[in-house]
Structure 1
């Protein structure tokens, strides 16, 4: 099972491609933060956070993806959309792929922007 972030992200990308998604960007960075994977699924643009932990279970995900981290991902997604205007009118989703020794869990629509 992948132990380092890059290995986990590679495994997550393969997993998502296996589900029919097309990866369009990996490790997209802005001044506000980073999005691990950006993918397309039909007419939906998906911003994916990857968590690869060898010891902690999925129940620890709340601490690893707190509100502050969610806001950084959302702000980075907005920046991506500002420079990739071809995606501006697509549906948007924020997913989490959790990788643990027990396997891979994909949480679609794991969080959203709160207004």
Structure 2
């Protein structure tokens, strides 16, 4: 997998690792190489067994990334802490146009909406 993330590889724009059960440990492994490879525009992580810990690592990546445009986190167990970390990262990140999530309980959705209001009005 390291070959995929070589800094010299500037042509990789879509990386779909969904349904690979990476887990939080896998997200930790790919976070830094993703930060070094600035060409990835779309990152697919649907059904990758990601929890709050992995979402926090992704939030760190999002806060640093200036190119990422789409992130698919459907069918993961991100929960409140991970969602809050992602919301905070999105206050910094201005490139992300699409964040795919599903199964967000109503209370968590209200918290996300409240956190994102300042960004949506800018």
> Normalising to structure 2: TM-score of the pair?
0.29
In proportion to residue count, which structure has more strand?
A: 1
- Taking CA–CA contacts closer than 8 Å with sequence separation of 6 or more, which of the two structures ends up with the larger relative contact order? 1
In proportion to residue count, which structure has more helix?
A: 2
